[in-house]
Every structure is written in structure tokens, then in C-alpha cells.
């Protein structure tokens, strides 16, 4: 045994004994309390060092322990909404020894993943999907006659998403479905005040359930009048509870409701879950937890500790693209009172905090409801305002119909600021922004911009806000590259959105002097610049064309054609997106009518009918074949 292993065993002696959920079931109350403390220390140590989601996981330690003490996975099914709070679940289900590989190439995912463990029954990564999936499990178990329970865990943030309500509307009473509402920020319940808190405490005690069950059994056994008496008292109880608490949304839907209780009290949560099992019907268990529990910095500012970067990672002093977008939009809105900003519960993540503070009356956070965000923007635009919807690429997928039907079809001037475009290494396939170019390219009446510098982002924003058509501006998670600025922006006073190249402005260079041409957009241009330098070492010249706008493709093709050599050569389209319907396919088609294309060897480098799943301990671009080495291989063969 190495010294490092010995130190780990000494630091986390109880956690080191947990290899399966059955080990958790054998522990005493005192051991569970100590285990919860160890898990928090383990998470704080590992996540602050290696990165990941911290605050949300610290808040559900006791909840996850209680779930695994009451239920038995994989026979029972546990589904976490979004799934970024599933780290404790992973620790308890045999993945502790691999935890250092979390969110790394070839390592364990930061979200539940079917292919990773039999205890992960359903993969999640986007909000509000859990209950619909859980309902599918519960209904199919009923069809096959299984005695398995399905446990769905979602937070009050997910409750703002429409899918949760759609699923609740379809929950039948006679299912083995346990719905855990984990309230950690927004108060949903009207249960406020001392009396309500006392009654809640009473209703979650063991004595309350024993008395309730005994009374029900006694009344129903009274000859002739017992069942009617019990039914009458039950109705009286519901009327009294309604008067004291107000209407309960879940009970109005026919679901049995328990809670709320302190979700950071393992014993109370465990007791409530055991009672939920006894009901024999679909049941809502309402818990209240504290994000960042046990780590004062995360408790004070949970948003800051939602997603953490690895320790020691240098933070540039400049603004990232999200923050830059927010600053540009705020400045423009200072002069134009018609500009509004919309986010789907991601004000900080999309850089809109500055706008929210400067223009609170024109800032709208609609919750996790992307479809509503887009159609709401369409309504604002139709009534004379200029809405800007800031949204992650991977979440924009949820509003595709709304973009087509409510915005583009009516030619409304909505601006979509598409954040996190391209491959996103740590969050993996659920968060890759690789589909937006393809699905937006098919939509008429929409312009698509791809800035990769702060200047280009500003230009795209100003041009979009002056357009009478819907516009989309996509940019990656990250910062401007000085190397890219130097290569493509020889004129610092050039404030136009246009197709740029790195060779026509070079002395004695022309299209005919290039041995090959590479056309690209977005941050993957960094790989193209590395490939160009290596290509030059072989005595060959690679001309790079950087696109700041993609759509309309016919316009861009007209700008590119004069930049191409007349002689036979390779033309390589490089994109950090899927091939089908992507930039390379659309632009090469738009270039086909030009005579200059008749003798060209065309290649498209893109994600080829895949999700970009990292299967090895390599950078994501190398793993999917989109790095400088793969570029050189195509150029040289």
C-alpha cells in the first residue's frame, strides 16, 4: 500500500469502505453522520483541485445517502435532473477510485451516463427532463409487473421548466414513483410562519405516521359506518389543511404529498422516503436543502461555486466572450431604449449581469424555459422592441420550433447570442455546441455570424441590432487569442464584418502562391494556425480564410471566390461542428457555380455523424480528429 493510499484511508476511513450502495445500508446513524462529513471534505478537496460542480453536490449529501439507504439500485431507478449533483451517487456506486478522472478525457462523466454504470439508468445533462423519463420507467415497470421503484430528483430551478409540468400532468396515482422536490433557492410552498413550520415538523415525525395509520385502520373497521366516517374525516382534514396552508399544487393533481422537511437531515429524509414507499402510489417528497452546505464560501455565494475550474488554471485579465457580449449590449442599450435582454436562468453564465444591473426594467430571466424565451422575444419584437436572447448553444436546441415558426417565419428582428459554441471539453457531449450551425443554416430569413475576436463580436452585435431580420451570433466559451488577432487583423481600424484571410496582405503573396487553402470559423482556427506553421516547415504554403459570417452563404461564397487560386489545389473546410448541413457542406455547395472551383480537391473536416464523445485521455479535438496533426495528414495525402 502506497503512502498516498494510506493517507487517503486515514482521511476518509468510512468513505473508503463504501464500494456498493449495500455498504451504506449497513451503517449506523452515527456512522452516516460521519460519512456525510467525510463526503463533504472529499468533494471540497477534489473539486477545488480538479474542477467540477461543487455547491449543488454539497447540498444533496444527506439526500443521496438517504436514497441509497431506502432504495436499491440498479433494481430501483434513480434519475437526477440535469445530473450535475450526482457526484455523491457516483461515490456510493463504485466510482470513488476513478473520481480524480471526473470530467476528463476517458474519465467519468460529470453527469449520469448509462454506459458508465448500471446504477445510472438514464443520462441527463439538460434541465427539466427527469420526470418525463422517470414516468417512462414507472409506467414500463407497471406494464411488466415489476416491483421496482423509480425515484426522480429535481430542484426548484428545474420546476421553472415546462417539461416538469407536462410530466406532472401525466403522472398517474397508481405508480411506484417517488418524486423528490429539492428546494434550495426559490420558495415554492406557501408553508410559512411558525404554525406551518410546527405542523410540517409534526407531519414528518415517526409518531405522526404511526398515529395516522392506526387511526385510519381503526375507523375503517367500525361496522357499517366506518368507511363513511373515515371518508368524511379525510375530507374535513383536506379542507382544514387547505385553509391553513393554501392550495397544494401536487395534491390538486392527485399526487400524495409529504413535507417539506430539512433535506440536510438524513434521518428526516430517510423517514419520509420510507413513508413514501408505504403509500403504494405516486408521491411527492418536498425537501429544503442548502446549496454549498458545509463549505462557508459556497454557502455564501453558491453561484460562484456552481461550476469550478481546476486549481492553478490561470485566469486572463481580459473579459471572456460572454462578458464582452454583455458589456457591448449594455453600452448599446444605454443609447437605445428599445433593446431588451432575455436569459433562461443563465444571467451570469451568459454575461448579462451587467445589463441586469444597468437596465433591470428591460432584463428578463424567464427561468429554464428556452422555448418560452424565444417566443417571448418574438412577441417583444413584433411590438416594436429589439430583444436579444442570450443562450447556450446546447440549450438553444430546445427552442428550434420557436425559432422557425415564431421568429424566422414572421421575419422578426430577434438577436440570438449563442454562447458556448463548439466543443466543450469538460462537460462533454451533453454540452457540446456542435449542432447550431447545421440547424440554423436551414432556416430562411436568418443571418448567422461567427466572431472569434472582441472586435468582430462588437461588429456583429451592432450589425445584427440594425437588421430587420433575425440574426444569430455564435461564439465559444473562452477568450480572444492575440495570435488570431495578429494573423487576420492587419488593419486595426477595420470595423466591418467580412471574410478575412492571412495571406493576401502578406508581401508578395497572392492566391496563386498558396499550395492549399483552409477555410474555417470559430476558435478551431487555432489548430489551423498550428498546422500552417508545420506545413511551412515542409516548404509549403497554406492560406487561411477566417469567416466572421456564414449565412447567407451565397454572399460569403462571393467574397471567398476571389481569394482562391485558379490552379489545381486542395481546399479544406475545417469546422468544430457536425458535417451534415454544416458550414463546409453549405459553403462548398454555394461555391460550386464559380469557375475557380472546377479543378479543386475538396475536403471537409468536421464531426462526422457523431456526438463528440471523448474516449481517450487526449484533448477533445485530437480525440475526434480535428487537431493540427489530422489537418496535416489530409494536406499531405
Active site residues: 291, 370, 398
Burial class of residue 160 in the structure, from the number of CB atoms within 10 Å of its CB (0-12 exposed, 13-18 middle, 19+ buried) = buried
Closest CA to 488 of 452, 450, 446: 452
| Count of Cβ atoms closer than 10 Å to residue 18 Cβ | 22
Question: Distances from the Cα of 131 to the Cαs of 20, 79, 146, 166, in angstroms?
Answer: 26, 8, 19, 9
333-364 in b/e form (b: 16+ CB < 10 A) is: beeeeebbbbbbbbbbbbbbbbbbebbeebbb
Euclidean distance between CA atoms 426 and 614, whole angstroms: 10
Strands of 256-262's sheet, edge to edge? 77-80, 150-155, 177-183, 283-288, 256-262
Positions of E strands within 22-140: 52-53, 77-80
Do residues 525 and 546 make contact, with C-beta atoms less than 8 angstroms apart?
yes
Q: Which three cell numbers mark 545?
A: 480564410
Q: Which three cell numbers mark 149?
A: 421503484
Do residues 412 and 471 make contact, with C-beta atoms less than 8 angstroms apart?
no
Euclidean distance between CA atoms 461 and 467, whole angstroms: 10
Euclidean distance between CA atoms 620 and 378, whole angstroms: 36
Do residues 553 and 441 make contact, with C-beta atoms less than 8 angstroms apart?
yes
Euclidean distance between CA atoms 366 and 15, whole angstroms: 40
Count Cα atoms within 13 angstroms, Cβ side, for 74. Answer: 11
Alpha-carbon torsion angle 159, 432, 458, 525, nearest 10: 170
Do residues 518 and 545 make contact, with C-beta atoms less than 8 angstroms apart?
yes
Amino acid at each position: 500500500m502506497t503512502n498516498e493510499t494510506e493517507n487517503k484511508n486515514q482521511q476518509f476511513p468510512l468513505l473508503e469502505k463504501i464500494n456498493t450502495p449495500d455498504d451504506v445500508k449497513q451503517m449506523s446513524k452515527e456512522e452516516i453522520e460521519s460519512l456525510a462529513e467525510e463526503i463533504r471534505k472529499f468533494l471540497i478537496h477534489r473539486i477545488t483541485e480538479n474542477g467540477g460542480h461543487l455547491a449543488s453536490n454539497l447540498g444533496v449529501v444527506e439526500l443521496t445517502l438517504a436514497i441509497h439507504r431506502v432504495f436499491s439500485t440498479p433494481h430501483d431507478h434513480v434519475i437526477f435532473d440535469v445530473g450535475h449533483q450526482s457526484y455523491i451517487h457516483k461515490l456510493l456506486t463504485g466510482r470513488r477510485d476513478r473520481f480524480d478522472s471526473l470530467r476528463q478525457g476517458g474519465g467519468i462523466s460529470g453527469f449520469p451516463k448509462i454506459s458508465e454504470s448500471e446504477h445510472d439508468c438514464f443520462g441527463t445533462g439538460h434541465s427539466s427532463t427527469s420526470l418525463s423519463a422517470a414516468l417512462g420507467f414507472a409506467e414500463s415497470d407497471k406494464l411488466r409487473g415489476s416491483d421496482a421503484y423509480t425515484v426522480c430528483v429535481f430542484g426548484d430551478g428545474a420546476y421553472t421548466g415546462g417539461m416538469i409540468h407536462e410530466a406532472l400532468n401525466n403522472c398517474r396515482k397508481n405508480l411506484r414513483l417517488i418524486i423528490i422536490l429539492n428546494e434550495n433557492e426559490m420558495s415554492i410552498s406557501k408553508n410559512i410562519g411558525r404554525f406551518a413550520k410546527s405542523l410540517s415538523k409534526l407531519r414528518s415525525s415517526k409518531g405522526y405516521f404511526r398515529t395516522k395509520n392506526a387511526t385510519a385502520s381503526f375507523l375503517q373497521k367500525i361496522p357499517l359506518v366506518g368507511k363513511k366516517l373515515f371518508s368524511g374525516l379525510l375530507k374535513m382534514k383536506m379542507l382544514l389543511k387547505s385553509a391553513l396552508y393554501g392550495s397544494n399544487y401536487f395534491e390538486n393533481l392527485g399526487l400524495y404529498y409529504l413535507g417539506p422537511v430539512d433535506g440536510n437531515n438524513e434521518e428526516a429524509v430517510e423517514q419520509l422516503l420510507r413513508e413514501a414507499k408505504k403509500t403504494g402510489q405516486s408521491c411527492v417528497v418536498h425537501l429544503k436543502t442548502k446549496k454549498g452546505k458545509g463549505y462557508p464560501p459556497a454557502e455564501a455565494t453558491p453561484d460562484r461555486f456552481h461550476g469550478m475550474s481546476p486549481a492553478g488554471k490561470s485566469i486572463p485579465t481580459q473579459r471572456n466572450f460572454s462578458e464582452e457580449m454583455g458589456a457591448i449590449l449594455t453600452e448599446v442599450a444605454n443609447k437605445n431604449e428599445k433593446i431588451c435582454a432575455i436569459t433562461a436562468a443563465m444571467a451570469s453564465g451568459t454575461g448579462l449581469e451587467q445589463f441586469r444591473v444597468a437596465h433591470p426594467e428591460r432584463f428578463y430571466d424567464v427561468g429554464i424555459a428556452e422555448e418560452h424565451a424565444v417566443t417571448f422575444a418574438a412577441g417583444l419584437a413584433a411590438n416594436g422592441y429589439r430583444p436579444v436572447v442570450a443562450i447556450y448553444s446546447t440549450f438553444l436546441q430546445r427552442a428550434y420550433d420557436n425559432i422557425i415558426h415564431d421568429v424566422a417565419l414572421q421575419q422578426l428582428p430577434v438577436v440570438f447570442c449563442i454562447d458556448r459554441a463548439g466543443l466543450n471539453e469538460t462537460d462533454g457531449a451533453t454540452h457540446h455546441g456542435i449542432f447550431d450551425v447545421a440547424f440554423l443554416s436551414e432556416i430562411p430569413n436568418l443571418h448567422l455570424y461567427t466572431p472569434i475576436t472582441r472586435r468582430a463580436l462588437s461588429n456583429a452585435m451592432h450589425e445584427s441590432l440594425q437588421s430587420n431580420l433575425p440574426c444569430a451570433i455564435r461564439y465559444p466559451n473562452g477568450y480572444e487569442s492575440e495570435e488570431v488577432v495578429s494573423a487576420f487583423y492587419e488593419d486595426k481600424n477595420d470595423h466591418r464584418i467580412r471574410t478575412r484571410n492571412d495571406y493576401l496582405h502578406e508581401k508578395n503573396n497572392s492566391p496563386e502562391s498558396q499550395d492549399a487553402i483552409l477555410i474555417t470559423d470559430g476558435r478551431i482556427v487555432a489548430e489551423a494556425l498550428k498546422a500552417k506553421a508545420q506545413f511551412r516547415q515542409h516548404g509549403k504554403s497554406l492560406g487561411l480564410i477566417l469567416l466572421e459570417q456564414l449565412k447567407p452563404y451565397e454572399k460569403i461564397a462571393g467574397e471567398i471566390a476571389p481569394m482562391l487560386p485558379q490552379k489545381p489545389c486542395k481546399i479544406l473546410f475545417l469546422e468544430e461542428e457536425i458535417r451534415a448541413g454544416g458550414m463546409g457542406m453549405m459553403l462548398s455547395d454555394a461555391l460550386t457555380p464559380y469557375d475557380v472551383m472546377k479543378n479543386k480537391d475538396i475536403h471537409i473536416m468536421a464531426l462526422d455523424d457523431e456526438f463528440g464523445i471523448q474516449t481517450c485521455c487526449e484533448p477533445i479535438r485530437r480525440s475526434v480528429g480535428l487537431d493540427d496533426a489530422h489537418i496535416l495528414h489530409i494536406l499531405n495525402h
